[in-house]
Structure 1
Amino acid sequence: MIKNSKLLTILALVMVFAFVFTAGSFAQEYNIAVIIKATDSGFWQDVLTGARTADEKLDNVTITTHGPTSESQIAEQVAILENVITRQPDAIVMASTSSDASVPALERAYDQGIKIITIDNKVNTDKIHSHLATDNIAGGKLAAETFVEMAKQHGKSVDSGKVGLISAMAGVQVLADRDQGFIQGLNEYAPGLEILETRYVDNRIPEALSTAEDILTSHPEELVGFFADNNHTGAGVARAIAERDIADEMPVVAFDADDAEKRALEEGTIDALIVQDPFGMGFKGVQFAVRAIEGEELPEFVNTGVTAVTQANMNNPEIQNLLNPDMRAEAELAE
């Protein structure tokens, strides 16, 4: 009888320990929602590559990915965020297209205990745990400095003339910062150049193409070159340059580095790309979400960096690592 009692006690303890271990294991599984601005963009696919790499590297993380088709679909992105919150993830990593439209939902999620990491675009609330992004004003100034260099390489005078500035969308803070930085930089590095009125193209490549054509037609003698402030505007301007076969005489500097822009750089219809680190935003965004869930105090802002890429340096190993997120993912997972 005593032996049976001891046996029952041991079995009971084993069951208790098994339950505690199992419960503890489940408690360590973190569900993280990653919301991007658009699924139709190579830039945002690179962000997802970084997030998925972090997911694979971290045993206790499961991510879900979400986003509207286009960056112009702000209301749809907010609706996606609202839906995600109803599922009560442990954290949300979000690149909000609008600095304001997503704020009420993000603040509600924060108040519910969901950890909030924003990437790329800053939102107008303090109810986040960290923000990872490019310093876009600095990036815009780098674009201006690089533009002046490229113009000189094309044999253009920077003492006078006009520059076309094509922006994806109005009212988006990251784009406004890039444009502001470019204007400030050009005023510093080439004050004799006049920047034409900013043209907005609703983040559409065909619209960027037709706008570049219009500028080329309207200013046939005075135009020195173009600045395009994201991947879609860059691809559209490059097409206009290619169609007119004027790559040798018309410098173009564009932000980002999706496949179309990289081909344009190789072909010479874009002279320089101002490259962010979308892979790093996704990868570090998920890492920071885990750190926030585990109670770690995080920096308010992390500058993820920006680099000028030209034909002269695009094959350097560090640049190739930046331009090829799949290669970078392999390296991360091999560590």
Structure 2
Amino acid sequence: MVVLIPEEVRVMTRQLHRILVVPVVLVTVLASSVALSSGTRSASAQRTALTHTGRTVRQLKMEVVVKTTNSPYWQIVFAAAKKAAAQFGVQSLGYVGGPSEADINAEITLIEDAIAKHPDFLVIAPTSASALNPVISKAYKAGIKVIIIDSAATTQNYTSFLATDNRLGGCLAAQALARAIKRKTGAARGQVAYATFQSGAGSLGARDAGFVQCIRAFHGISVVAHKDAGGDPNPGGKPLSIAADTLTAFPKLVGYWGDNLQTLQGAEKAFQERHVNHSKVSLVGFDNTAQEVTALKSHQLDGTILQDPYQMGYGGVGYGILASAGLTVPRFVNTGVTVATPANVNGRVIQGLLDPVSKRQIGFK
């Protein structure tokens, strides 16, 4: 039996103790002739699972459908899912996503197309908390195991959900911003603003709620603006303009938070174009590329919240295999959330999350 040992991660804040969770036991993999048996199941499992008596791991079919292919984040998910599929020998029917995270209809069409291929399981990252419910339910009721990753869907018709605790992520962003403000100005007080990438996305809504809740603990800080980028995938488009407008409207601003990569990069560009004094105004974001790593090291960025998309991709396939074998899988898997700052950016754990494709130790050689 192949066993993956969880990678333990040090406490990043006093409130946070996390373990990077991968399936403890993925599946017995001996050769392509190893059969998957349905075994004895509970009544609920019988209602929702197809039997695979006599089938092998290499006969399983899967597809990964994410919000968009035009993002480094989702490319990490794909890389991890492809690694898992290759290592366990399952057949991939595709790794697809819409033209942008705002294109809900495109993702619905992609999932419909995937259902028509009759896969054993689907790994899906929903663009909307509710709009995809009918098509997700269609797949589930057809006997396809549905592994949701990254963002929640409000339907109950899914097998397992792997995601960041986004509310905690938003809270950690608020704390990081307050600490940066205090470090630069001597006190956690003043005007701050934040931007959301797209209203209605479940993960972003949770982040924003966590941010608002936890920033209130700092009584000297007031939130003076909340802007919506309307799902514009171009950081130099609306994410830039809303950040620039906020800086103009509030010249005494001491802090800004972008709740995803595009809103963060839009703010980075606005700070650069407006020649914002980084010794007086703090900037925190969510997610990263190599650009943010450089900004952290040069103290142009005070912090960014790191998710674990690599684990979502690899684990999504892993749990899909387990569910297809007839095993009961967790309803929810918290994949962890961590704050990267200029102080810890060179640490091993942070480096593994910043560059997971080359530096994470998940999976097999």
TM-score class, shorter-chain normalisation, is 0.7 to 0.9
Letter of the structure 2 residue corresponding to residue 169 of structure 1: Q
Report runs of 4+ in structure 1 exceeding 4 Å deviation: 23-28
Residue matched to 1:115: 145
- Structure 1 CA distance, aligned partners of 2:57 and 2:202? 38
Work out the number of aligned pairs and report it. Answer: 312
- Structure 1 CA distance, aligned partners of 2:287 and 2:186? 24
CA 43–60 in structure 1, closer or farther in 2 if over 3 Å, else same: closer
1:307 to 335, 338, 355: 338
CA 331–294 in structure 1, closer or farther in 2 if over 3 Å, else same: closer
Residue matched to 1:210: 241
Residue matched to 1:14: none
1:90 to 120, 123, 133: 120
Deviations 1:254-310 (A, max 9, x none): 011223333332333321011000101101011000011001101111111000001
Residue matched to 2:108: 78
Q: Map 1:193-232 onto structure 2 (within 5 A).
A: 193-204=221-232, 205-206=235-236, 207-221=238-252, 223-232=253-262
Letter of the structure 2 residue corresponding to residue 225 of structure 1: G
**2:161 partner SS:** strand
Comparing 23-32 and 70-79, the one that deviates more: 23-32
Residue matched to 1:274: 305
2:215 to 186, 189, 197: 186
TM-score normalised to structure 2 length: 0.81
- Structure 1 CA distance, aligned partners of 2:72 and 2:230? 17
Per-residue deviation at 1:224? 1.2
Per-residue deviation at 1:30? 1.3
User: Which one has a bigger Cα radius of gyration?
Assistant: 1
- Structure 1 CA distance, aligned partners of 2:123 and 2:219? 40
Per-residue deviation at 1:184? 0.6
Per-residue deviation at 1:59? 2.2
CA 58–20 in structure 1, closer or farther in 2 if over 3 Å, else same: closer
Residue matched to 2:38: none
Letter of the structure 2 residue corresponding to residue 162 of structure 1: Q
Residue matched to 1:298: 329
Comparing 206-215 and 61-70, the one that deviates more: 61-70
Q: Map 1:1-335 onto structure 2 (within 5 A).
A: 28-62=58-92, 64-155=94-185, 157-159=187-189, 161-188=190-217, 190-204=218-232, 205-206=235-236, 207-221=238-252, 223-245=253-275, 246-328=277-359, 332-334=363-365
Per-residue deviation at 1:241? 1.3
Contact 1:120 1:281 in 2 (8 A): yes
Contact 1:91 1:114 in 2 (8 A): yes
Deviations 1:100-140 (A, max 9, x none): 11111111111111000001111111111110111111111
- Structure 2 CA distance, aligned partners of 1:87 and 1:186? 47
**1:54 partner SS:** helix
Letter of the structure 2 residue corresponding to residue 279 of structure 1: Y
- Structure 2 CA distance, aligned partners of 1:67 and 1:196? 35
Residue matched to 1:13: none
Per-residue deviation at 1:333? 3.6
Which structure has greater strand proportion? 2
**2:61 partner SS:** strand
- Structure 2 CA distance, aligned partners of 1:29 and 1:201? 43
- Structure 2 CA distance, aligned partners of 1:20 and 1:280? 26
- Structure 2 CA distance, aligned partners of 1:57 and 1:288? 14
Per-residue deviation at 1:244? 2.7
Identical aligned residues as a percent: 34
Contact 1:54 1:287 in 2 (8 A): yes
Residue matched to 2:20: none
Per-residue deviation at 1:99? 1.2
- Structure 2 CA distance, aligned partners of 1:68 and 1:94? 12
CA 218–20 in structure 1, closer or farther in 2 if over 3 Å, else same: closer
TM-score normalised to structure 1 length: 0.88
Letter of the structure 2 residue corresponding to residue 194 of structure 1: S
Letter of the structure 1 residue corresponding to residue 224 of structure 2: L
Per-residue deviation at 1:250? 1.4
CA 25–122 in structure 1, closer or farther in 2 if over 3 Å, else same: closer
> Which ranges in structure 2 are unaligned for 5 or more consecutive residues?
1-32, 36-52
